[in-house]
Copies of this chain bind each other. A is one copy, B any other.
């Protein structure tokens, strides 16, 4: 399998990259991620489980019923890719699109 296909199997699902991006700022708790991203709670739980299984992040137990999610080395290695995508989004989305599609002309 190509590298891109492999990467997308892990972080290609909806919200996955957004979650990792948030965690690049440091470990965060479940409720923080939920409020910052606006992600549905069941999706967040599912993604966190998948990303933990994939070795992208791990759970850090805090006090009693609170815990934090932190990126592993593998998760931190996504910073370059995320930054590149974010820069592309900032630079190229919402602009007039020089070579835009317009079947009428």
Number of A residues with CB within 8 Å of any CB on chain B = 44
Which 3 pairs across A and B sit closest by C-beta, in order of nearness? A7-B89, A55-B97, A3-B86
- Which residues of chain B are near A90, meaning CB under 8 Å? 3, 6
**A33 in contact (CB, < 8 A):** no
Interface residues of A: mostly helix, strand, loop or mixed?
helix
**A18 in contact (CB, < 8 A):** yes
- Which residues of chain B are near A4, meaning CB under 8 Å? 17-18, 21, 82, 85-86, 89
Known: A6-B90, A81-B87. 11 other contacts (CB 8 A): A2-B86, A3-B86, A3-B87, A5-B18, A6-B89, A8-B89, A11-B85, A53-B100, A55-B100, A58-B101, A77-B91
Contact B88 A81 (CB under 8 A): yes
Contact B97 A74 (CB under 8 A): yes
Contact of A10 among B9, B14, B53, B93 (CB under 8 A): B93
A90 to B101, CA, bound (A): 34
